[in-house]
Amino acid sequence: MAVDIAGYNDPKRTTAHRLVVHDGFWKLMRTAFAEAGIPWDTLFMENTGDGVMIHLPPEVAKADLVAQLPDRMLAELRRYNEVHAAAANVRLRVALHAGEVYQGSHGTISDANSYAFRLLDAAEVKDALKKSKAALALVVSNTFYQDVVRADPAADAPSYRRIPIENKETKTEAWLRLLGFVTNGFPVFAPASPAAPDFPALVEALLAVSCVRKSQSRQLVLELFPRREIADLVPHHAEDRLQVIALARTCLRFEGGLAALLAAVRTVEPESPQVVALGAIIDEWPERPTR
């Protein structure tokens, strides 16, 4: 995932403006990822000065990057821009691609990195953002669109349009989605969606349950899980909090996954006050998969 602040070095921006933009950008990114339920601390980031390159671990579902994160980013952009001067406003270009990444002695080495930046910096994407007055331009590679966006109805594939890309030695096609643009003087909003569930509250409720918080009993919960197709997909993390986040995220990808988790927890720790509180959160959770 490559992200760039459009017009970061615009002459209209003073150093004071850029300091505000810099701080606001990182705050809105952290908030958007948290609201999408993607653990910020598991990401590997390279600061590019006017943006960031983010490498996401395999346990983060690619579908979440197009089904949830763009709308969360747009919401945070609107909140930020509403209370800051025009010279400190932020508009973003975001590129998504998937591929192999290798760790070198002084950073990462990856053809996928270079390809993502070719998409991000393409004149076609910059022009589309500028002409539309959109707040956010999301461009995805053709393979990402075919394999991820089209596979999930929540990603809103019809809102993308295919565009040619010519940037340096790269000549290809990609898919572009513009968010928060204006038509005939009226803002075009993302399709209305139900209120986002409180994923951090779910994680905290799980960690409050003794048999989930402790690694040995958590393993027993997984062994007693009534649906093996879910339990077998939970990635392992040595750190307890990350393991619980991965457990919650995996369950959310299946219809009835949280209910199955609660059943396993109740087998190990029947109706403690913490389990009752967890059950109340799960009972209110929308019964639909998130990927």
Looking at the structure, do residues 126 and 162 belong to the same domain, yes or no? Answer: yes
For residue 1 the two structure tokens come to 């995932």
Looking at the structure, do residues 25 and 137 belong to the same domain, yes or no? Answer: yes
What's the average model confidence in pLDDT over 181-196?
48
Looking at the structure, do residues 37 and 166 belong to the same domain, yes or no? Answer: yes
Looking at the structure, do residues 87 and 139 belong to the same domain, yes or no? Answer: yes
> How many whole angstroms separate alpha carbon 77 and alpha carbon 91?
7
- How many C-beta atoms surround the C-beta of residue 5 within 10 A? 21
Beta strands in the chain, from DSSP E residues, in sequence order: 2-5, 44-47, 51-55, 92-96, 102-104, 107-109, 136-141, 161-167, 170-179, 182-183, 186-187
Q: What is the pLDDT of residue 131?
A: 87
User: Would residue 171 count as lying in a domain?
Assistant: yes
User: Would residue 288 count as lying in a domain?
Assistant: no
Confidence of residue 175 (pLDDT cuts 50, 70, 90): very high
> How many whole angstroms separate alpha carbon 56 and alpha carbon 266?
33
For residue 18 the two structure tokens come to 């850029």
Looking at the structure, do residues 122 and 168 belong to the same domain, yes or no? Answer: yes
Looking at the structure, do residues 169 and 142 belong to the same domain, yes or no? Answer: yes
Assess contact for 149 and 160: CB atoms under 8 A.
Answer: yes
DSSP class per residue in 92-142: EEEEE-----EEETTEEE-HHHHHHHHHHT-HHHHHHHHHHT-SEEEEEEH
Q: Which of 225, 63, 192, 70 is nearest to 136 (CA)?
A: 70
Q: What is the pLDDT of residue 242?
A: 87
187, 220, 247: which is the final residue of a domain?
187
Looking at the structure, do residues 265 and 153 belong to the same domain, yes or no? Answer: no
- How many C-beta atoms surround the C-beta of residue 284 within 10 A? 9
Q: Which residues pair with 187 in a beta bridge?
A: 182
Confidence of residue 262 (pLDDT cuts 50, 70, 90): very high
187, 209, 229: which is the final residue of a domain?
187
User: Would residue 207 count as lying in a domain?
Assistant: yes
User: Would residue 291 count as lying in a domain?
Assistant: no
User: Would residue 147 count as lying in a domain?
Assistant: yes
Q: Where in the sequence is the domain holding 240, given as residue range(s)?
A: 199-283
pLDDT in tens, 108-152: 777 888 899 999 999 999 999 988 889 999 999 999 999 999 988
Looking at the structure, do residues 165 and 235 belong to the same domain, yes or no? Answer: no
pLDDT in tens, 74-119: 999 999 999 999 999 999 999 999 988 877 776 777 788 889 999 9
Q: What is the pLDDT of residue 289?
A: 43
Q: What is the pLDDT of residue 189?
A: 47
User: Would residue 194 count as lying in a domain?
Assistant: no
Average pLDDT of the chain, as a whole number: 87
Looking at the structure, do residues 167 and 23 belong to the same domain, yes or no? Answer: yes
Confidence of residue 73 (pLDDT cuts 50, 70, 90): very high
Q: What is the pLDDT of residue 7?
A: 92
For residue 264 the two structure tokens come to 């396993």
Looking at the structure, do residues 12 and 105 belong to the same domain, yes or no? Answer: yes
Q: Which of 223, 259, 262, 230 is nearest to 246 (CA)?
A: 230
- Which is higher by pLDDT, 210 or 37? 210
> How many whole angstroms separate alpha carbon 21 and alpha carbon 50?
9
Looking at the structure, do residues 272 and 158 belong to the same domain, yes or no? Answer: no
Interior/surface letters 100-132, b for 16+ CB within 10 angstroms, e for the rest: eeeeeeeeeebeebebbbbbbbbebbbebbeeb
Q: What is the pLDDT of residue 287?
A: 60
Q: Which of 4, 28, 23 is nearest to 91 (CA)?
A: 4
Assess contact for 279 and 249: CB atoms under 8 A.
Answer: no
User: Would residue 192 count as lying in a domain?
Assistant: no
Q: Which of 201, 213, 212 is nearest to 281 (CA)?
A: 201
Does 268 score more than 90 pLDDT? yes
163, 187, 211: which is the final residue of a domain?
187
Number of domains in the chain: 2
Q: Supply the CATH number for residue 23's domain.
A: 3.30.70.1230
What's the average model confidence in pLDDT over 158-187?
81
Highest mean pLDDT (candidates 64-68, 138-142, 186-190)? 138-142
User: Would residue 12 count as lying in a domain?
Assistant: yes
Looking at the structure, do residues 50 and 166 belong to the same domain, yes or no? Answer: yes
Q: What is the pLDDT of residue 198?
A: 81
pLDDT in tens, 190-237: 444 444 568 888 999 999 999 999 999 999 999 999 998 888 888 888
